[in-house]
Amino acid sequence: MSDNPILSVRDVRKTYGGVEVLKGVSFDLERGQSKIVIGPSGTGKSTLLRCINLLSPPDSGNVVLDGVTVEERGINQIRAQIGFVFQEFNLFTHLRVLDNVRLAQRNVLGRSKQEATRRAMEELERVGLSDKLEAYPAELSGGQKQRASIARALAMDPKLILFDEPTSALDPELTGEVVQVMKDLANAGMTMLVVSHEMGFARAAADEVIFMEGGVIVEQGPPSTLFTCPEHARTSQFLRMISHEHQEA
């Protein structure tokens, strides 16, 4: 491990209505690394992602992005460096795909229209949506929506991208195109923290797997070890459960 991780999460805790959802989570993410977070639903995975960019500020602990502590002061400039891809896409309904990808570039980074357009077209091409620049979100399939939202995140030139179950809202036949884009990104050296149960992505592109349960990290390790001989009984139970679900799907 290098001693300057791009993201360092230290003892992050978060309580909702008296229930401690995150009970002290710590991990590092190195430049160019992809980590995948798995765990039962309600375990705090989404909360963890939202704590990283302060969409839900942690109650204690801290998050350091590239040597800078993430705090309320200057949060907008920090968020601009952290891409976020949501399960429900959250594209801007009233804007064409091109404008979805241009808006924050102009509004947050202050890029010129020309520069924002150029970057938007590059990223939309990368995710295979060059022919959908003028389409509105409601005119896209789920897979296309998610690829557009990935392009929107990429066009900000983020230091890392957080993905919260990016394929869970998709019909099974559409997950492949999104997983492929994510694999390509990981292989191109993008730093990624991905909450997902897509084993295809985990095996092909994740450097490490984090298994979370009950607000803590139970264990983490490279996919080859964690998937084949996990240390904890809970981990193997969970892995058996999701492999059953995937076979049924």
Partner 1 sequence: MVFDTLVAEFPFLLRGLWIGIQLLAALLALGFVLGITLAVMSVYGHWSLRLFAVVFERIFRGIPEIVLLLLFFYGIGELLPLSPFVAAVLALGLRSTAYQAQIFRGSIQSVAGGEVMAARALGMSRLGAIWHIVLPQALRRSIGPWTNEYSAELKATSLAYVIGVVELTRQASYIVSNLQGNTLTVFAVVAAMYFVVNRLGNAGLYALERRLTIPGFEGRGAES
Q: Give the count of residues interacting with partner 1 (CB under 8 A).
A: 30
Residue 65, beta-bridge partner list: 7, 68
**C-alpha–C-alpha distance, residues 168 and 189, integer Å:** 24
Cα separation, 120 vs 101, whole angstroms:
6
Give 48 or 80: the residue with its C-beta nearer to Mg ion: 48
Q: Does 22 bind partner 1 (CB under 8 A)?
A: no
Residue 114 exposed, middle or buried by CB count within 10 Å (0-12, 13-18, 19+): exposed
How many chain residues touch ligand ADP (CB under 6 A)? 10
Decide if residue 163 touches partner 1 (CB under 8 A).
Answer: no
Partner touching 21 among Mg ion, partner 1, ligand ADP, none, CB below 5 to 8 Å by kind: ligand ADP
46 binds Mg ion (CB under 5 A): yes
Place of tokens 């492929």: 180
Do 84 and 164 meet the contact criterion of CB atoms below 8 Å apart? yes
Q: Which part of the chain contacts partner 1 (CB under 8 A), choosing from 131-139, 205-213, 225-233, 240-248?
A: 131-139
Considering the rule CB under 8 A, would residue 201 count as an interface residue with partner 1? no
Smallest distance from the beta carbon of 182 to partner 1, in angstroms? Answer: 18
Closer to ligand ADP by Cβ: residue 11 or 16:
16
Tell the residue number behind the tokens 């990283």, with chain if given.
52
53 binds ligand ADP (CB under 6 A): no
Calpha distance 121→109 (Å, rounded): 17
